[in-house]
Amino acid sequence: MPIRTLATDYDGTIATHGTVDPDTLAALRRLRDAGGTLILVTGRELPQLKQVFPDLDLCHMVVAENGALLYTPETGKERPLCDPPEEKFVRALKERGVTPLSVGRVIVATYEPHEDTVLHVIKELGLERQVIFNKGAVMVLPSGVNKASGLTYALDELSIDAADVAGVGDAENDHALLQLCGLGAAVANALPSLKEHADLVLTERHGAGVTQLIERILDGTLDAAPRRPRIQSKRETARVHRLADKHADVHPDA
């Protein structure tokens, strides 16, 4: 199947200093007008995302809080994919002077150099939480939650195969996103480690790079780009197994 779905990070990818420029917005609209699907996959919490990106309704689906929350702009439906953070965890971070400290529906976030304190509190309280970095940001999420796990839920709702998706990002927390998608791209300003693992490194920075990717989706040249073997998420693997079992039930061995 041709790639007609774009899963893009926000900060540092379509946005520069938190803002999406008019040329990038125009490219996103061209993708939608051509029948493409747009999914935003971001570490941001939804309220702040709505403030900085008023054109959020361009997206068919939003994966927020680094994979922990789904949002459908057309209906306004929010769907947390995990339990909220433990009150004792948030309280302990505040008592230890971790600031700024942001608490979303699921995510708890701060900035370096507070990662040592965060890890110490997680160990002290015996919590099953992981720390994910994003260019100085320190994000705390339930174990196993990342951009790939959240995107898998979004693709399930949209009935889209991850193999038919182009993912694009710029930072540490985008590794999982690129690994899940059929083709993973990095904008020119991406971290070197992400570029090393991308199928395609774009020549332009931020939104201009994403515009390059959209043009290749629209003209069909992206479909011929070489791709590395894709890493399936546990949820996607389980879905494949369920489909295989269902097929076996319909066509039993003789």
pTM of the entire predicted model: 0.89
Reported as a pLDDT band with limits 50, 70 and 90, residue 247 is very low
Look up the domain containing 224 and give its range. Answer: 5-81+145-241
Domain boundary among 122, 142, 162: 142
Reported as a pLDDT band with limits 50, 70 and 90, residue 236 is low
Q: Residue 91 maps to which CATH number?
A: 3.90.1070
Q: Which two tokens stand for residue 97?
A: 């002077």
Element (H, E) at 179: helix 175-180
State yes or no: pLDDT of 241 exceeds 90: no
Residue among 90, 114, 112 at smallest CA distance from 102:
90
Element (H, E) at 249: helix 234-250
Q: Residue 225 maps to which CATH number?
A: 3.40.50.1000
Question: How many beta carbons lie within 10 A of that of residue 120, not counting itself?
Answer: 12
Q: What is the pLDDT of residues 43-54, one digit of tens each?
A: 999 999 999 999
The C-alpha angle 17, 209, 65, rounded to 5 degrees, equals 50
Instruction: Quote the mean pLDDT of the chain.
Output: 91
How far lies 235's CA from each of 61, 232, 246, 250, in Å? 18, 8, 17, 23
pLDDT at 228: 67
Reported as a pLDDT band with limits 50, 70 and 90, residue 223 is confident
Does one domain contain both 211 and 105? no
Residue among 95, 101, 89 at smallest CA distance from 127:
89
Domain boundary among 119, 142, 165: 142
